[in-house]
């Protein structure tokens, strides 16, 4: 089979060097760690003069720093703030800035990325406007036309996108507040535009955005009252009034989606095909709706992307708002559990299939809630990946299980690892160091979650080889679910196959499950690999499995996960196995 190599990495530093806008980073002590050429030119310093200096030396107004840090701590970003910097020659430059926090794997602040745009010319226009108004009052009515012209110019620049000339997000928000008739908004997001921009270059990317803008203006002209807006990056909005029925808007949105997906845009002799995702929302029928039209359409767009639909209409029955609020609640709960050391391993016994005596345990991650209840990973593990806390949970589990093995050196325990854990260099290094220092490493089994799929066999085999040097054994977990592939067994040096519970739970009544299990066991036995049946929930399942050459069994029939190996257990929710941590 031909090896699939990952794509060449994008040279981020090269991109930053070419940006026309200034960009720099500061650490938690406000020391500049990087400055691109545009930022150096803007302030009149060399790279060596800027890097290592404090940003406070260059800020004209230090109050903005405190405001920005408050926003970073609260939301992780600080957008569209205007302030001033001091140039090397002592002059002042006016800028707008966007600030983004960069986090370590443990969720702590690592550094801050700041992008800036020179607004000195716009500031000068504002000063000129002020002077013009003063002149108007002091001298003559003849200056009134000049003031009006300059005001229109500045207002237009404030409310319109400089690339496409379309009204921007600020104008959209203003227009939506002024509308009283029934109206609808369609948000259009160009799929994978970042990849297109990287592949073809920013010039072609910009021209492509302009071509899409022109297309949307032409297509929306069929409505008597419609406006097209250019939103940040790769999004557009269309507001439509005076329509007969919502179904008319939905048909129009479907037409837009089909047209964009089937049209070939020609830019500088390059033929480029696009796809788009659309979110639709209609003005509320009552005043009780506390969500703006733009927020609802954006929620619909995000859900459409998540569910891989071309378009989606916002509806209260989708519970999108509730899902957002629920996610925020679980993020807060997860961060609190990590900070207060309430992430804990619970140990479920694994028994010998012949004697039914406990031979080893599997460590399953749990959160002990503030009220003492036990929370399974079904609720928090996927969220932990989205907020960059997943590897932190892995390290907590490894630390606590290794500590438990030091107290019980005669026990054998398995720990779940995902492919994400193995692919991450810092995580691999951490695991190698912990295994090397652990006297009970021969009593450790790492269970690799099979359902996530393995792409880089060389990397996974390197990981397996390194930990096996210290006596660690390897199990392939949840085999039979997800990306099940017998090639995994042949290509990886594994000691155990754990047959997924979705196959085992009804094996005593399901002929298909019986055939699948017998095939897996026979294949593994021929290769000298031991097998473990998961999710043994009742005596009937256990009795059926005892007639098969399976080596071990695991499930609630033999014991629920407990906070210690052999200890007592509080009441636990139904065990739901998610993403490799049980």
Confidence check: pLDDT of 529 > 60: yes
* pLDDT at residue 318, as a whole number: 61
* Cβ burial 434-464 (10 Å sphere, 16+ → b, else e): bbeebebbebbbbbbbbbbebebeeebeebb
The pLDDT-based confidence of 346 (bands split at 50, 70, 90) is very high
Whether the per-residue pLDDT at 210 is higher than 80: the answer is yes
> Helices (H), strands (E): how many in the chain?
21, 21
Task: Tell me if residue 371 falls in helix, strand or coil.
Answer: coil
- How much is the average pLDDT of 485-505? 85
Q: Write the burial class of residue 401 (CB in 10 Å: 0-12 exposed, 13-18 middle, 19+ buried).
A: buried
Q: Which residues of 141-150 are buried (b: 16+ CB within 10 A; e: fewer)?
A: eebeeebeeb
Model-level pTM? 0.55
The reported pLDDT for the residue numbered 577 is 36
Share of the chain above pLDDT 70, in %: 87
Q: Return the SS3 of 354.
A: coil
pLDDT in tens, 392-423: 999 999 999 999 999 999 999 999 999 889 99
Distance CA 294, CA 280 (A): 9
For residue 357, what are the CA distances in angstroms to 12, 153, 197, 550, 551? 56, 82, 60, 14, 12
Contact 520, 532 (CB under 8 A): no
| Contact present, 420 and 384 (Cβ < 8 Å) | no
Q: How far apart are CA 503 and CA 5, in angstroms?
A: 34
In this structure, what token pair is assigned to residue 258?
């089909």
146 contacts 132 by C-beta, under 8 angstroms: yes
Element (H, E) at 211: helix 202-220
What is the enclosing helix (H) or strand (E) of 93? strand 92-103
Give residue 570's pLDDT.
33
Which of 186-195, 351-360, 446-455 is least confident?
Answer: 446-455
24 CB-near residues (< 8 Å, 6+ apart): 32, 33, 34, 35, 36, 39, 50, 55, 114, 116
Which of the given ranges, 200-204, 304-308, 533-537, has the highest pLDDT on average?
Answer: 533-537
pLDDT exceeds 60 at position 287: no
pLDDT at 576: 37
How far the first Cα of the chain sits from its last, in Å, is 33
Residue showing tokens 């994008």: 10
- Percentage of the chain exceeding pLDDT 90: 36
The pLDDT of 26-46, averaged and rounded, is 89
Query: 264-267 and 270-273 as β-strands: parallel, antiparallel, unpaired?
Result: antiparallel
pLDDT the model gives residue 216: 92
Residue range 142-163: average pLDDT? 78
Place of tokens 């060097």: 17
Q: Domains in the chain, ordered, with CATH? A: 12-118 (3.30.450.20), 123-159 (no CATH), 169-318 (3.30.70.270), 346-364+411-554 (3.20.20.450)
pLDDT digits (tens, 9 = 90+) for 74-86: 888 887 677 888 8
Of 67 and 431, the structure prediction assigns the larger pLDDT to 431
Place 144 in a pLDDT band, splitting at 50, 70 and 90.
low
CA distance 176 to 188: 17
Report DSSP state, residue 286: S
Quickly state the pLDDT bin for 572 (edges 50, 70, 90).
Answer: very low
Structure confidence at residue 571 (pLDDT): 31
Instruction: Compute the radius of gyration of the chain from its Cα atoms.
Output: 30
Name the band, by pLDDT with cuts 50, 70 and 90, for residue 320.
low
331 versus 401: the higher-pLDDT residue is 401
pLDDT single digits (tens) 417-466 = 998 899 999 999 999 999 999 999 999 999 998 555 677 888 999 999 99
Instruction: Provide CB contacts within 8 A for 108, sequence distance 6+.
Output: none
Task: Output the CA–CA distances (angstroms, integers) from residue 245 to 182, 192, 220, in the order listed.
Answer: 10, 32, 16
The burial class, CB within 10 Å (0-12 / 13-18 / 19+), for 296 is buried
Q: What per-residue confidence (pLDDT) applies to 567?
A: 43
> Sign of the C-alpha dihedral, residues 54, 56, 59, 63?
positive
Residue 486 has a pLDDT of 72
The string of DSSP codes covering 106-135 is TS-EEEEEEEEEE-HHHHHHHHHHHHHHHH
Q: Is residue 21 very low, low, confident or very high in pLDDT (cuts 50, 70, 90)?
A: confident
Give the separation between CA 302 and CA 441, rounded to whole angstroms: 45
Q: Which position has the higher pLDDT, 127 or 568?
A: 127
8 Å CB contact between 285 and 190: no
Q: How far, in Å, CA of 339 to CA of 99, rounded?
A: 26
Q: What is the mean pLDDT of residues 138-164?
A: 76
> Given this model, what pLDDT does residue 267 score?
86
Residues 6+ apart with CB under 8 A from 484: 450, 451
Closest by CA to 55, choosing from 112, 135, 137, 98, is 112
Segment 184-193 mean pLDDT: 91
Mean pLDDT across the chain: 84
């Amino acid at each position: 089979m031909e090896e699939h190599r990952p794509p060449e990495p994008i040279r981020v530093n090269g991109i930053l060097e070419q940006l026309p806008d200034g960009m720099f980073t500061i650490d938690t002590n406000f020391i500049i760690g990087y400055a691109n050429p545009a930022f150096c030119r803007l302030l009149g310093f060399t790279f060596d003069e800027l890097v290592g200096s404090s940003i406070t030396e260059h800020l004209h107004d230090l109050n903005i720093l405190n405001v920005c840090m408050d926003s970073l701590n609260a939301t992780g970003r600080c957008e569209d703030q205007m302030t001033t910097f001091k140039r090397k020659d002592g002059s002042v430059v006016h800028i707008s800035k966007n600030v983004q926090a960069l986090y370590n794997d443990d969720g702590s602040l690592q550094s801050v990325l700041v992008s800036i745009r020179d607004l000195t010319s716009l500031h000068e226009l504002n000063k000129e406007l002020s002077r013009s108004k003063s002149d108007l009052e002091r001298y003559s009515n003849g200056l009134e036309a000049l003031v009006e012209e300059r005001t229109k110019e500045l207002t237009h620049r404030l409310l319109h996108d400089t690339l496409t000339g379309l009204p921007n997000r600020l104008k959209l928000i203003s227009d939506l507040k002024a509308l009283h008739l029934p109206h609808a908004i369609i948000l259009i997001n160009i799929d994978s535009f970042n990849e297109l921009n990287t592949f073809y270059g920013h010039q072609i990317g910009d021209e492509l955005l302009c071509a899409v803008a022109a297309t949307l203006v032409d297509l929306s002209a069929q409505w008597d009252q419609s406006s097209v807006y250019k939103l940040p990056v790769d999004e557009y909005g269309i507001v439509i009034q005076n329509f007969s029925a919502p179904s008319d808007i939905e048909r129009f949105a479907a037409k837009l989606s089909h047209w964009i997906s089937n049209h070939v845009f020609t830019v500088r002799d390059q033929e480029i095909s696009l796809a788009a995702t659309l979110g639709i929302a209609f003005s509320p029928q009552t005043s009780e709706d506390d969500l703006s039209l733009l927020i609802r359409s954006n929620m619909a767009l995000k859900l459409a992307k998540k569910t891989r639909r071309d378009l989606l209409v916002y509806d209260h029955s989708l519970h999108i708002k509730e899902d957002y609020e629920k996610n925020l609640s679980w993020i807060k709960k997860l961060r609190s559990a990590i900070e207060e050391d309430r992430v804990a391993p619970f140990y479920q016994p694994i028994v010998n299939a012949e004697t039914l005596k406990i031979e080893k345990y599997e460590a399953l991650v749990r959160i002990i809630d503030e009220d003492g209840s036990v929370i399974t990973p079904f609720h928090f593990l996927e969220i932990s990946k989205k907020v960059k806390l997943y590897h932190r949970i892995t390290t907590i589990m490894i630390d606590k299980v290794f500590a438990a093995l030091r107290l019980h050196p005669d026990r054998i325990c398995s720990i779940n690892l995902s492919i994400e854990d193995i692919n991450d260099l810092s995580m691999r290094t951490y695991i190698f160091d912990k295994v090397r220092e652990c006297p009970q490493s021969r009593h450790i089994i790492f269970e690799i979650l099979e359902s996530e799929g393995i792409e880089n066999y060389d990397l996974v085999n390197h990981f397996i080889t390194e930990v096996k040097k210290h006596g660690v054994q390897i199990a392939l977990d949840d085999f039979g679910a997800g990306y099940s592939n017998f090639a995994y067994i042949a290509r990886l040096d594994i000691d155990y196959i754990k047959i997924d519970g979705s196959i085992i739970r009804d094996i005593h009544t399901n002929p298909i499950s019986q055939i699948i299990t017998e095939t897996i066991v026979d294949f593994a036995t021929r290769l000298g690999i031991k097998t473990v049946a998961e999710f043994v929930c009742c005596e009937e399942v256990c009795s059926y499995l005892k007639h098969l050459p399976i080596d071990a069994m695991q499930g609630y029939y033999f014991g629920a996960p407990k906070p210690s190996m052999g200890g007592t257990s509080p009441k636990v929710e139904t065990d739901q196995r998610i993403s490799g941590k049980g």
